[in-house]
Amino acid sequence: MSEASSPREPEEPEEQRKASSILPESGDMELVQRARKGDFSAYDDLVRRYQERIYATIYHMTSNHEDANDLAQETFIKAFQALNSFKGGSSFYTWIYRIAVNKTINFLKQRKNKTQMSLDDLDIKAENDPDLVALVSERTPRRDSDLAELQEKLNEAMLRLSDSHRLVVTLHDVQGMSHEEIAKIMDCNVGTVRSRLFYARQQLQGYLADYLR
Amino acid sequence: MKSDEQNFKSLRRLLALKRHEVPPPGYFDRLAREVAGRIKAGEQSEFSGFAERFSAEASWLDRFWAVLEARPIAATLCGIAACGMLVSGLVYSEKKGDSAPIAVFMAPEIAGGVEMASQPSSAPPSNPSLTPVGASLTPSSTGGLMPSGAQSDSLFNIHPALNVQPAGHLLPAGQ
């Protein structure tokens, strides 16, 4: 599907912009330099800075907490070992995201047909999220469905997407990254990101039709 | 198209549910600690792995020493064998050194002396076919080592290049 066939993105909602905090943080390079010189606390700072985002990306790709935990740890360990090869051509966060994404996709290729979900709990905010409450209690024809069931169906639908389509949806619609950032991480052009996103949304829409009418 | 966008809007609201999926409380503190622990453990195991490999490889040496300590005769035999190998190595290297073409690297005066001592001055080679192999192969390089006044010497007039090769090496093998 070409870029032209995918519609332009509407304005990002405020909520999504809030989620889009995946910006290269200042001082990353300084921390990297210190870590290279053997200052482990500097690397620990980098881990704490990015661990939630890296974990979340992997978790949404795998729908499994234990796998996400293992892969997140391996990502940071691999990044530490490869720190000397980081030339600074891209930002540190793009670099470490690439490591995480590559590790996850390799893992998913090996795990094929052995999918077992181990979902994280929803936080308390989910029950008070007006959008979600409306989605469950008003818009959903199956009024008996609750958030937990919706969460499970949503994850099942995500797992039916191909790895590359799931990644685009995860990075854009869940994590709030821009197309340009995703293109850098996936090492492809923005048009590819847009078309993958459009196709993935269409697929998800079909899988989750009962919850979207 | 508008309905698509509308549906995508709903889908995106639904996907927002995934942002509320969070790991157990305190998980990220543990994650950072575990990463730090694994990195440090990896560094230590790298060092200890080297030490273990070294000690594992050295264990045969320990056993060998233990055998020698327990049996003095074996130790003596090993010592004699080691000395024998050392002596034979030295003898072999001496022989190897003798057979090397050393005259090429000798000073002209020494080279001339060696030649005069080893070849009778009154008996020039009667058969031109016995021209030294070494001389015929390297006339230009040997000529450079000759003393400036050597060309006027009668001995050197016969075979000018002979002065740089020891006589023992001028004859073809077997002669």
Q: Would you state the structure tokens that stand for residue A44, as one six-digit string?
A: 């620990």
pLDDT surpassing 50 at residue B123? no
Report, as an integer, the average pLDDT of B81-89: 92
pTM listed for this prediction: 0.59
A189 touches chain B (CB under 8 A): no
Q: How much is the pLDDT for B43?
A: 76
Report, as an integer, the average pLDDT of B142-160: 46
Which residues of chain A fall below pLDDT 50?
1-22, 143-144
Q: How much is the pLDDT for A203?
A: 94
Judge: A123–B28 Cβ closer than 8 Å, yes or no. Answer: no
Q: Would you state the structure tokens that stand for residue A210, as one six-digit string?
A: 């009962």
pLDDT in tens, A138-173: 555 554 457 788 888 999 999 999 999 999 999 999
Q: How much is the pLDDT for A183?
A: 96
pLDDT surpassing 70 at residue B136? no
> Can you list the alpha helix ranges (DSSP code H) found in B71-120?
72-98, 108-118
Report, as an integer, the average pLDDT of B68-89: 87
Judge: B36–A47 Cβ closer than 8 Å, yes or no. Answer: yes
Cα–Cα distance measured from residue A165 to residue B106, given in angstroms and rounded to the nearest whole number: 80
> Can you list the alpha helix ranges (DSSP code H) found in chain B?
2-15, 27-70, 72-98, 108-118, 133-137, 139-143, 154-158
Residue pointed to by tokens 């290279």? A36
Q: How much is the pLDDT for B141?
A: 43
Residues paired with residue A64 on neighbouring β-strands, in sequence order? A118
Q: How much is the pLDDT for B75?
A: 85
Angle between helices B27-70 and A40-62 (to 10 degrees): 110
Burial of A175 (0-12, 13-18, 19+ CB in 10 A): buried
Cα–Cα distance measured from residue B34 to residue B157, given in angstroms and rounded to the nearest whole number: 89
- A148 or B156: whose pLDDT is higher? A148
The DSSP letter of residue B76 is: H
- B154 or A156: whose pLDDT is higher? A156
Q: How much is the pLDDT for A204?
A: 94
pLDDT in tens, B11-55: 888 898 888 899 999 999 999 999 999 998 887 766 565 556 655
Judge: B22–A122 Cβ closer than 8 Å, yes or no. Answer: yes
**Residues on chain B bordering chain A, Cβ-to-Cβ distance under 8 angstroms:** 1, 4-5, 7-24, 27-28, 31-32, 34-36, 38-40, 42
Q: Would you state the structure tokens that stand for residue A46, as one six-digit string?
A: 């980098």
Give chain A positions within 8 Å (CB) of B27. 69
pLDDT surpassing 90 at residue B8? no
- A157 or B73: whose pLDDT is higher? A157
Q: Which long-range contacts (CB under 8 A, 24 or more apart) does A186-191 make?
A: A186/A101, A187/A98, A190/A3, A191/A2, A191/A3
- B95 or A56: whose pLDDT is higher? A56
- Domains parsed from chain A with CATH numbers: 25-113 (1.10.1740.10), 126-213 (1.10.10.10)
Query: Which residues are CB-neighbours of A83 under 8 A, at least 6 positions away?
Result: A32, A35, A36, A43
B26: nearest CA partner in chain A: A52
The strand ranges marked E within chain A are 121-122
CB of A184 closer than 8 Å to CB of A173: no
Q: Which string of DSSP letters, residue by residue, matches A64-97?
A: BHHHHHHHHHHHHHHHHHTGGG--SSS-HHHHHH
Burial of A135 (0-12, 13-18, 19+ CB in 10 A): buried
Judge: A132–B16 Cβ closer than 8 Å, yes or no. Answer: yes
pLDDT surpassing 70 at residue B69? yes
- Is this complex scored with an ipTM above 0.85? no
